[in-house]
Amino acid sequence: MAQTARPTYAVIAKTAGVSEATVSRVLNGDDSVHPDRAKRVQDAVEKLGYKKNRVASALASGRTGLIAVVIDDDLSIFQDPFWGSVTAGVSRVLMENELQSLLMVSPVDSVDGAVAHYLQSGEVDGAIFFALHSDALVKRLAKQGLPIVITGTPPSNDDFIFVDTDNFGGGLAATKHLFSRGCQKVGIITGDTGLTDAKQRLDGYHQAYREGGHLPSKTLVANGDYSFESGKRAMRQLLDSHPGIDGVFASNDLMAMGAIAVIQELGKTVPEHIKVVGFDDSLIAQTARPGLTSVRQDVVALGEAAANLMIAQLAGIEVEPKILPTELVVRESA
């Protein structure tokens, strides 16, 4: 609050012997100023340690330099390292481009409240949404002309700009890998299939069955919700209906760990009896014993891509949704 009074344009203008308009031009890179005078302004800025007041600047120009990063606040945020990494990627790229990220962790049910309010208060130049459950709000904002990028494939594909991991390809690769390891009965533990990514991973799994000419079975599909416990539950269910199951693709590492825990509790071993592949290639996969074979997605890159799409949009460049490739990291579990 009690910031020592900082100089304003008025002061710079006076010391440089020019008008405030000229100061503004110089500081905004307008090249129509004579080099000599520009130099004078820059010297004054230097000498007085001037720092532009971004709030005033924002008010006058209509550009705040702020990008909202909106994350649905269900509890998973607090546990899942995923979003932290994506956010870090976003933030870093934005900063490199003189933009700031406004982090909004907000309860789902208030997405129509506080967040909406904010995004419409003219305080941000754009918004990046994470893991969209519903896109009603996004639609409204887009209609109002707010640049938007969605991380993760949006539920209804209304030509939003989004970035996502190639979930389909990842699911396909994971499942094919299990077949190639000799598995005959490969099950899947899905995430909440209301989420697009979980759905796509499942689709990839199905595709692998089609391509491999194996016989799919509905009871080889067990639903989880990306949590450790749900992975355990789903694995028990799979073992129940298919005692002879010899491969499992879990839609994330956490559930894969749950599955392995159950398998081992029953005295079976991984990968000898049952092979397991996870998704994310998180720290968990890397540190688990046996090491968990997993589909790597580059979450930081995901964030960076989102930020770059935003920047392009702000620059008025036409952009298209972007899908990032995955890579299967083979370890001991399959």
Partner DNA sequence: ATCTTTTGTGAAAGCGGTTTCACAGGTCGT
Partner DNA sequence: ACGACCTGTGAAACCGCTTTCACAAAAGAT
Question: Which residues are near its own copies by CB under 8 A?
Answer: 1-4, 6, 51-56, 58-59, 62, 64, 66, 69, 71, 73, 77-81, 83-85, 87-89, 91-92, 95, 100-106, 114, 117-118, 120-123, 125, 144-147, 228, 254, 257-258, 260-261, 264, 283-284, 286-289, 299-300
Cβ closer to its own copies: 204 or 303? 303
**If contact means CB under 5 to 8 A according to the sort of partner, which of DNA, its own copies, none does residue 27 touch?**
DNA
Q: Is 9 in the site for DNA (CB under 7 A)?
A: yes
Q: How far is the CB of 117 from DNA (least distance, A)?
A: 13
**DSSP state letters, 95-139:** HHTT-EEEEEEE-GGGIIIIIHHHHTTT--SEEEEES-S--HHHH
**If contact means CB under 5 to 8 A according to the sort of partner, which of DNA, its own copies, none does residue 218 touch?**
none
Q: Is 32 in the site for DNA (CB under 7 A)?
A: yes
Burial 224-245 (b: 16+ CB within 10 A, else e): bbbbbebbbbbbbbbbeebeeb
Q: Is 120 in the site for DNA (CB under 7 A)?
A: no
Q: How far is the CB of 10 from DNA (least distance, A)?
A: 7
CA dihedral 206, 209, 213, 216 (to 10 degrees): -80
Q: Is 18 in the site for DNA (CB under 7 A)?
A: yes
Q: Is 43 in the site for DNA (CB under 7 A)?
A: no
**DSSP state letters, 284-331:** HHHHSSSPPEEEE--HHHHHHHHHHHHHHHHTT-----EEE--EEE--
Give residues in contact with DNA (CB under 7 A): 6, 8-10, 17-25, 27-28, 32-34, 36-37, 52-53, 56-57, 59-62
